[in-house]
């Protein structure tokens, strides 16, 4: 068949037209595609501008995008922040718990091994204590002292000079009583006396009362009456001026009555020789609480005593140096009379703690980091009593599984001491 040039030209023209239209469609489609670049956003504007390749600008208010999507993102962000904060707090709590555990932990336990208690205390629980002064280290880990089984401490608040008779403060007293109380120990205080007259004894009592007034004192204030060889009291004895037991009684009882009038319990500390040969302890024990000092396996004093300092080579906590070791005898459920007075009520009108009732909130108390602190309340004839106004209380023997005790002492319109047992279990 022969070729037709005109027909071929028309066909080529149609093909070219289709190609042109197809190309235009592709260009239009390309132009309709919007591409966003970082520089197309004006972040300082109240509105966010988006630019397309072909120039038109689209505007939308900040935060007006996909509500559900942005809300989920904000929620997840807040949730993540809260979770991170909780993890941080738990980590801090864990660190403090670990630190608290090791600050209290000690492998040493105080015992009464090597000592024989008098038959009169067969039903009593010997509570372990120590007494300290500036002769011991200034810094003591009282938490470890408590964990090792020590329940109380007597700290020296001051002393009278053995020569000139001046009154002096013990440099470690303030730190000792604050830290020991914080660690859960019962705290008492003593004054090393060289008083020659009742008037000087009252002067010493006033000095001691001034030192203790800012602290939580839960044990007696004690006059430590000793003969220092060559000292002022020793010289007066040698001169024959302290010839009768009543003269010693006048001195120590003047101290005791003065601190009792201020509302504190009192006691007299002396060694066995002085109590027996100078002070006639079997008469003194009717008027004063006696703290006996005798470094032997037995106390060996016929007169009544409540505390016994049995050694000057005791151990406690992580103390490297030896310390005075003491026993305090308390029989569970027994009522012990108090001597501290209150100005508001006559002593014979005050109610004995022995007539009150204790109510433990749980059958047993859990041991946590070597401490068990039972929750309880006190009532009298069904009426609630207020801690700090009607009574004070301290937990003892509460650092290991077994039987712990709460010592309650009446104050205000209440009086006397009673010790109550409670059970301790592992947590």
Residue 96 lies in a domain: no
Confidence band for 88, pLDDT divided at 50, 70 and 90: confident
CATH number at residue 153: 3.20.20.80
The predicted model gives 44-53 an average pLDDT of: 44
Burial annotation 34-55 (CB, 10 A radius, 16+ → b, else e): eeeeeeeeeeeeeebeebeeee
Please provide the average confidence, as pLDDT, over all residues in the chain.
88
Measure the CA–CA gap between 271 and 269, rounded to whole angstroms: 7
Domain ranges, residue 161: 119-330
Run of H or E including 204: helix 198-212
412, 390 contact by CB (below 8 A) = yes
- Pair (419, 322) in one structural domain: no
Output the pLDDT for position 284: 97
Output the pLDDT for position 41: 39
- Pair (129, 234) in one structural domain: yes
pLDDT tens-digit readout, 316-339 = 999 999 999 999 999 999 999 999
Output the pLDDT for position 345: 92
Instruction: Check whether 131 has a pLDDT greater than 90.
Output: yes
Total number of domains in the chain: 2
Instruction: Check whether 34 has a pLDDT greater than 50.
Output: no
pLDDT tens-digit readout, 234-268 = 999 999 999 999 999 999 999 999 999 999 999 99
pLDDT tens-digit readout, 2-29 = 455 455 566 666 767 777 777 777 667 6
Residue 76 lies in a domain: no
Output the pLDDT for position 30: 56
- Pair (146, 239) in one structural domain: yes
Which of 83-97, 108-122, 129-143, 154-168 is predicted least confidently? 83-97
Place of tokens 């009278």: 160
Confidence band for 80, pLDDT divided at 50, 70 and 90: confident
The predicted model gives 206-228 an average pLDDT of: 98
The predicted model gives 289-295 an average pLDDT of: 98
The predicted model gives 141-167 an average pLDDT of: 97
389 CB-near residues (< 8 Å, 6+ apart): 411, 412
Output the pLDDT for position 364: 82
Q: What percent of the chain has pLDDT over 90?
A: 72
- Give 126's strand partners: 329
CATH number at residue 404: 2.60.40
Q: Which of 274, 301, 330 is the last residue of a domain?
A: 330
pLDDT tens-digit readout, 415-427 = 999 999 999 999 7
Output the pLDDT for position 35: 45
């Amino acid at each position: 068949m022969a070729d037709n040039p005109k027909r071929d030209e028309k066909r080529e023209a149609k093909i070219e037209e289709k190609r042109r239209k197809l190309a235009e469609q592709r260009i239009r489609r390309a132009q309709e595609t919007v591409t966003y670049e970082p520089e197309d956003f004006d972040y300082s504007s109240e509105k966010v501008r988006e630019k397309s390749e072909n120039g038109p600008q689209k505007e939308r208010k900040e935060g007006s995008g996909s509500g559900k999507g942005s809300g989920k993102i904000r929620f997840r962000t807040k949730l993540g922040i809260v979770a991170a904060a909780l993890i941080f707090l738990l980590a801090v709590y864990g660190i403090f718990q670990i630190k608290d555990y090791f600050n209290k932990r000690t492998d040493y336990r105080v015992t009464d091994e090597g000592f024989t208690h008098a038959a009169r205390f067969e039903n009593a629980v010997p509570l372990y204590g120590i007494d300290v002064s500036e002769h011991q280290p200034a810094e003591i880990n009282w938490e470890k002292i408590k964990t090792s089984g020590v329940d109380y401490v007597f700290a020296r608040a001051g002393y009278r000079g053995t020569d000139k008779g001046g009154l002096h403060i013990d440099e470690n007293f303030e730190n000792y009583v604050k830290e020991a109380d914080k660690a859960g120990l019962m705290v008492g205080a003593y004054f090393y006396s060289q008083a020659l007259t009742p008037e000087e004894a009252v002067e010493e009592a006033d000095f001691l009362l001034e030192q203790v007034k800012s602290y939580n004192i839960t044990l007696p204030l004690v006059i430590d009456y000793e003969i220092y060889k060559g000292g002022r009291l020793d010289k007066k004895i040698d001169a024959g001026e302290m010839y009768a037991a009543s003269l010693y009684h006048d001195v120590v009882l003047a101290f005791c009555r003065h601190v009792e009038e201020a509302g504190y319990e009192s006691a007299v500390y002396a060694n066995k020789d002085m109590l027996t040969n100078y002070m006639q302890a079997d008469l003194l024990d009717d008027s004063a609480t006696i703290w006996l000092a005798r470094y032997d396996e037995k106390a060996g004093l016929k007169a009544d005593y409540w505390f016994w300092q049995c050694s000057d080579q005791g151990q406690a906590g992580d103390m490297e140096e030896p310390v005075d070791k003491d026993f305090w005898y308390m029989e569970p459920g027994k009522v012990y009379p108090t001597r501290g007075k209150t100005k508001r009520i006559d002593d014979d009108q005050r109610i004995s703690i022995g007539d009150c009732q204790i109510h433990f909130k749980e059958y047993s108390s859990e041991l946590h980091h070597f401490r068990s602190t039972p929750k309880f309340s006190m009532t009298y004839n069904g009426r609630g009593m207020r801690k700090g106004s009607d009574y004070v209380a301290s937990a003892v023997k509460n650092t290991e599984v077994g039987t712990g005790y709460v010592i309650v002492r009446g104050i205000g319109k209440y009086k006397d001491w009673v010790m109550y047992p409670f059970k301790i279990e592992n947590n």
